[in-house]
Structure 1
C-alpha cells in the first residue's frame, strides 16, 4: 500500500506509549502500526505550506519568499521575548500576533538530552514536550502572554540549558532528573514581572515513546539528496522515525516535502 502527501509534523496522542499519526490531505497513517515493518519513503516534489508552490523549502516547511513574509515565521516565534502584541504593536500581522501571543503561555523544564528550559502556549502541553522527545517535563510558570514567558525564559537560560542534543535524545543516553527540585531551585531567578505566576505545587509528567530499539550512532536521512530510502521502522521519538540500520528521519525538519510512503 502506498500513501502520498505533503509532510507536516506528526500529530500525537498522549498515551502509553505515545500514539503518532502522519496526516495527509485525504488520508492518515498510524505510525505505531508501522513498527517492525519495512517502509519506503520517496521524495516527489516540494510544496510550500503557505503558497503551495513547488519551490525549494527554506525553513519550517516554507519557501524562502513566504518565510520572510508570513507572521508564522517572525522572529518572536523563536524569541518570545520579542513579542509586542501586548503593547498593541504590530510586527507582520497584528491580528495574528494578538491571537497567538495574548493567550496563556507556559515556561517549562523538559528532559530530553538534558534538562532545558522552554516556552509554549498552554494549549500545546504536552504536545510540545512530546515533539522534543522529552521523557519527563514540568511547568514552572503560567503567564497570560508570550512576552512574559519570553523574558522568563531568557532569565533562566543563565542557569539551565535551552537546547536539546538530538543525538543524545535519540540514543536515549539520558538520566532521570528531579524536576521538582530543579523548578524550586530556579524560582529565585524568575523576573519580578512573572514571579506571581510561579507554579508551586505540581509534579512531573512522564512520557513513554514507542521505541523497540534505540540507535547507538544515529545518522540523519537527507531525503532530497537521497531521493528515496527503505528500512525497517523500529522506533518513533520526538518527531523522528528511527530505523533498524540507525538511520533517523526528522519529519518536522522535512515539512513541505511531498512524499510517497509504501509499506513493503
Structure 2
C-alpha cells in the first residue's frame, strides 16, 4: 500500500500502549500496526504548513517568510515568559495571542531522559508529554495564562533541565525518580505570584507506555535532506520518533512540511 502527503506531527491516543496515527489530507495510517514490518519512506518535496506553498521548509514546518510573520511561531511559543497578551500587548497578532496565551496552562515535571520542567496548555495534557517521550509526568501548578507558566518555568530551570536528551530518551536510559516526592521539593522555588496555584496534595501522576518492540543501544538520526529514500523495519514508536532496526530513528516533528510517499 502507498500513502502520500505532507508530514505533520503524529496524532496520538492515550492508552496502553499509546496509539499513533499519521494523518494525511485524504487518508490516515495507524502506525502501531506497522511494528515489526518493513516500510519505505521517499522524499517528494516541501509544502509550508502555513501558506501551503511548495517552498523549502525553514523551521517548524514553515517556510522562511511564514516563520518570521505568523503568530503561531512567535518567540513566546518557545519562551512562554515573553508572553504579553495578558497586558493587551501584541507580538504579531493580539487576537491570536489572546486565544492561545489567555487560557489555563500547566507547569510540569516529566521523566524522559531525566527530570525536566516544562509548560503546556491544559488542553494539551497528556499529548505534550507523549510528544516528548516522557515515561511519567506530573503537574506542579495550573495557572490562568502563559506568562505565569513561563516565569514559573524560568524559576525552576536552574534546578531541572528544560530540554529532553533525545538519545537517552530513545534508548530508554533514565533513572527512576519519584515525581510525587519531587514535586513537593519545588514549592519554595516557584514565584510568589504563583504560590496559590501550587499542587501540593493532588495525586495526578501520568504514566506513558510506548509501542516499542526493542530499544536500540545507540541511535542515528535519519534526515530526508541527506537520505531522500529510506527502507527499514519499524521496531518502535516513542515521542514523535519512528525507531527502525539498526538504531536508525526518524523524527516526524522535525520533518513537518516535508511531502513524503510511504510504501508498505
Deviation at 1:175, TM superposition (A): 2.0
Aligned position for 1:260: 261
Whole-angstrom distance in 1 between the partners of 2:174 and 2:29? 30
Q: Would you say 1:235 and 2:236 are equivalent positions?
A: yes
Note the alpha carbon deviations across 1:58-78, whole angstroms, 9 max, x for none: 110001111000001100000
Aligned position for 1:137: 137
With 228-237 and 53-62 compared, the bigger mean Cα shift is at: 53-62
Note the alpha carbon deviations across 1:11-32, whole angstroms, 9 max, x for none: 0000000000000011000000
Q: Secondary structure at the match of 1:44?
A: strand
Q: Secondary structure at the match of 2:86?
A: helix
Q: RMSD across aligned C-alpha pairs, in angstroms?
A: 0.6
Aligned positions of 1:1-264 closer than 5 A = 1-200=1-200, 201-263=202-264
State how many pairs are aligned.
Answer: 263
Deviation at 1:153, TM superposition (A): 0.3
What TM-score do you get using the length of structure 2 for normalisation?
0.99
With 194-203 and 44-53 compared, the bigger mean Cα shift is at: 194-203
Q: Secondary structure at the match of 1:233?
A: strand
Deviation at 1:56, TM superposition (A): 1.2
Note the alpha carbon deviations across 1:175-226, whole angstroms, 9 max, x for none: 2210011110011111011000001222321100000011111000011221
Note the alpha carbon deviations across 1:7-50, whole angstroms, 9 max, x for none: 00000000000000000011000000010010000000000001
Whole-angstrom distance in 2 between the partners of 1:240 and 1:28? 17
Q: Secondary structure at the match of 2:185?
A: helix
Q: Which runs of 4+ in 1 moved over 6 A?
A: none
What TM-score do you get using the length of structure 1 for normalisation?
0.99
